[in-house]
Amino acid sequence: MSLQIVPWDRLFDAAASAQRNAHAPYSHFLVGAAVLTDDGRIHAGCNVENASYGLSTCAEQNAIAGAVAEGAKRIAALAIVASTTAPCPPCGRCRQTASEFALPETPVRSRASTGEEARYTVGELLPHAFGPEFL
Amino acid sequence: MSLQIVPWDRLFDAAASAQRNAHAPYSHFLVGAAVLTDDGRIHAGCNVENASYGLSTCAEQNAIAGAVAEGAKRIAALAIVASTTAPCPPCGRCRQTASEFALPETPVRSRASTGEEARYTVGELLPHAFGPEFL
Amino acid sequence: MSLQIVPWDRLFDAAASAQRNAHAPYSHFLVGAAVLTDDGRIHAGCNVENASYGLSTCAEQNAIAGAVAEGAKRIAALAIVASTTAPCPPCGRCRQTASEFALPETPVRSRASTGEEARYTVGELLPHAFGPEFL
Amino acid sequence: MSLQIVPWDRLFDAAASAQRNAHAPYSHFLVGAAVLTDDGRIHAGCNVENASYGLSTCAEQNAIAGAVAEGAKRIAALAIVASTTAPCPPCGRCRQTASEFALPETPVRSRASTGEEARYTVGELLPHAFGPEFL
């Protein structure tokens, strides 16, 4: 799937919808994410925190898990929205999760609440990637 | 939501559909789960493994995250299917994740591939629960 | 190893020492834990949080990982201290982690800052345990 | 702490010792890691897997948690050994965990069982890092 045809506006809309449902009573940090799958569908997720902080899951991770549950094998793009003044990059765990289902050139975009946007690729976010070839 | 009206057959069907999409190239252990939310909707999930084993997520956890992303605040029932000869109970992390959104009396059922079924409640699976009241 | 000879005072002292080093800038919830291994050694751990909440690890989990790194195969007892008014039980993830290295009858004790103590076994905390026999 | 004085041989020895204790019955992938703390001490860890794959922890993460439990606030270097033919990079979660306690210029080295070595910095492994400044 080429970069040109990623429907970023629809991805960001889906991410923003999920963000409104974020369960973040501990951090009060609301994040939404949406993935475009290789068959053209969009799946969104939000962060889901837990009283045991380490069991919290991220929006990006949950969006990907939702896509997989509906049959996706690859993700073609990832959009992130966070209630931040600067665009919020994905954490290391989400980069690893994306890497399991993406190519190095898969685009990732993050928007702050100011509208400011950062653009990366999965490969830029996880250089020297760990993957199944090491197992 | 009373126990009597939980649509278990629909929950198990949704869980079995998601199970077929499990990403389990490392364990080859395929699990599906579905939650009924307090507003009567059903959300399913499957396990999504990662080459870095510790970044793998469980079917139950992913089903709950999917429900939360669509606005659910509480889960009313949880169904699990696994490719096992005896019904597979949820792991400790999934019990903790369910506890964040469920009551002690919330029912959990697990079915083996033989059709054998185990029935629990969230409270039976996580007695002396850790929760936000300790923070 | 019989219950009678668990050196609980030494375990709680080790747990309290580790608790003072807890990295909890996000929750401000300080926890320490110590395990007795089957060869009589004691290993302690504290919670280690992360800005990405879901990458936080618990004191119990870290105490066990420390014991394993030094060669332990089994844990014989687990002590927990938390800055709470009632004794704080381990979360579901820590119950699952303990279960990997413990027997159902392995004792777990938790002390609040008031000195109040709760006593459990691993089996009481994780009934119907998930384990490798399901894989 | 300057790059020149990192005692890499001692770090790799500590990592290799811990690696021998790796609990990896599921992946059979044995990893050891050791961190040098800012006060000159060395702490090692190994991967500790769980029947519920997602509760597995990595060697790097466990080495850092051990250092924190003994009072370290910063790590000055990280060494990794894995039973691989090419040097194994840390996964995304471990990069994020290291980032919590390291500077972008903190050195990371990984050795394969062939003796081949890869050299990185934390900043090279986690560019555009997510951290507490976004919360």
Q: Do D91 and B58 touch (CB under 8 A)?
A: no
Classify residue B116: in a domain, yes or no. yes
- Quick check: is C73 in a domain? yes
E-only strand ranges, B1-135: 31-37, 42-46, 75-82, 107-111, 117-121
Within-domain flag for C132: no
- Is there a contact between A120 and A89 (Cβ–Cβ < 8 Å)? yes
Query: How many CB atoms lie under 10 A from the CB of residue A85?
Result: 11
- Tokens for D30, please give them: 């044995």
Which of C23, C64, C73, C133 is the best residue to mutate to test the D interface, defined by the most D CB atoms within 10 Å of its own CB? C23
CA D39: distance to chain centroid? 17
Per the domain annotation, does A130 fall within a domain? no
Question: Does any domain span residue C14?
Answer: yes
3-state DSSP assignment of residue C78: strand
Does the CA dihedral A92-A96-A102-A103 come out positive or negative?
positive
For tokens 């050196």, what's the residue? C7
> Taking Cα atoms as reference points, which of B5, B6, B4 lies closest to residue B35?
B6
pLDDT by residue for chain C (135 residues), tens digit each?
444 589 999 999 999 999 999 999 999 999 999 999 999 999 999 999 999 999 999 999 999 999 999 999 999 999 999 999 999 999 999 999 999 999 999 999 999 999 999 999 999 999 999 999 999
- CA A84/CA A63 separation, integer angstroms: 20
Question: How does DSSP classify residue D61?
Answer: H
- Start-to-end CA distance of chain A, whole Å, equals 29
- Residue in B with minimal Cα distance to C94: B92
Q: What is the total count of domains within chain D?
A: 1
Q: Which residues of B touch D (CB under 8 A)?
A: 26-27, 49-58, 61, 91-93
Take residue D47 and report the two structure tokens written for it: 């991967």
User: Which tokens hold the place of B76?
Assistant: 């009313």
Q: For residue A17, which of A3, A30, A27 has the smallest C-alpha distance? A: A30
Residue C128 lies in a domain: no
> CA C91 → CA B33, B91, D102, distances in Å?
21, 12, 28
Cβ neighbours of C20 (radius 10 Å)? 11
pLDDT higher than 90, residue A1? no
Residue D56, pLDDT score: 98
Please state the rounded mean pLDDT for residues B41-64: 98
Which of C26, C62, C134 has its CB closest to that of D65?
C62
pLDDT tops 90 at residue B1: no
Residue of D nearest to C71 (CA): D21
Chain C residue numbers with beta carbons less than 8 Å from the beta carbon of A53 are 26-27, 49, 53-54, 56
CA distances from C9 to C42, C61, C79 (A): 12, 20, 9
What residues in C contact D55, CB-CB < 8 Å? 93, 96-97
Q: How would you write the pLDDT of chain D (135 residues) with one tens digit per residue? A: 444 589 999 999 999 999 999 999 999 999 999 999 999 999 999 999 999 999 999 999 999 999 999 999 999 999 999 999 999 999 999 999 999 999 999 999 999 999 999 999 999 999 999 999 999
For chain C, percent helix, then strand, then coil, each to nearest 5?
A: 35, 25, 40
D24: which 2 tokens? 């990896």
CB A47 within 8 A of CB A83: no
pLDDT at B93: 98
Average pLDDT for chain B = 96
Q: Residue D31 is part of a domain; what is its CATH number? A: 3.40.140.10
- Tell me if B31 is assigned to some domain: yes
pLDDT of residue D4: 54
- Average pLDDT, stretch B41-67? 98
Chain segment B62-119, per-residue pLDDT in tens: 999 999 999 999 999 999 999 999 999 999 999 999 999 999 999 999 999 999 999 9
Burial class (CB in 10 A: 0-12, 13-18, 19+), B122: buried
Q: How many CA atoms lie within 13 A of A107 on its CB side?
A: 16
Residue D48 DSSP label: B
| CB burial readout D20-45, b (16+ within 10 A) else e | ebbbbebbebbbbbbbbbbeeebbbb
For the sheet with A75-82, list strands across it. A42-46, A31-37, A75-82, A107-111, A117-121
Closest Cβ opposite residue D130 in set A90, A96, A129: A90
One-letter amino acid at B43 equals H
In DSSP terms, D42 is beta-bridged to D36
Q: Residue A2 and residue D89: Cα distance in Å, rounded?
A: 29
* Cβ atoms within 10 Å, residue A3: 12
Domain housing C103:
3-123
Which class for A51: exposed (0-12), middle (13-18), buried (19 or more C-beta within 10 A)? buried
What pLDDT score does C80 carry? 98
| ipTM above threshold 0.85 | yes
Look up residue D65 and give its amino acid.
A
CB B79 within 8 A of CB B94: no
Residue D134 to residue A88, Cβ atoms within 8 A: yes
Predicted local confidence at residue B4, as pLDDT? 54
Q: For residue D134, tell me if it sits in a domain.
A: no
The residue written with tokens 């896509």 in the block is A67
Q: Do B127 and C129 touch (CB under 8 A)?
A: no
- Rounded to the nearest angstrom, the gap between the alpha carbon of residue D114 and the centroid of all alpha carbons in its chain is 19
Distance of alpha carbon D17 from alpha carbon A30, whole angstroms: 42
Contacts of D57 in chain B (CB under 8 A): 54
Residue whose pair of structure tokens reads 């993050």 in the numeric block: A110
Give, in order, the Cα–Cα distances in Å from A72 to each of A101, B109, D97. 9, 27, 29
Rounded to whole angstroms, the Cα distance separating C76 from D67 reads 23
Give dist(CA B132, CA B92) in Å, integer: 17
SS3 A53: helix
Q: Residue C4: helix, strand or coil by DSSP? A: helix
SS3 D20: coil
Tokens of B100: 């964040």
| pLDDT at site D28 | 97
Give the helix, strand, coil percentages of chain B, each rounded to 5. Answer: 35, 25, 40
Q: Which of B48, B55, B96 minimises the CB distance to A55? A: B96
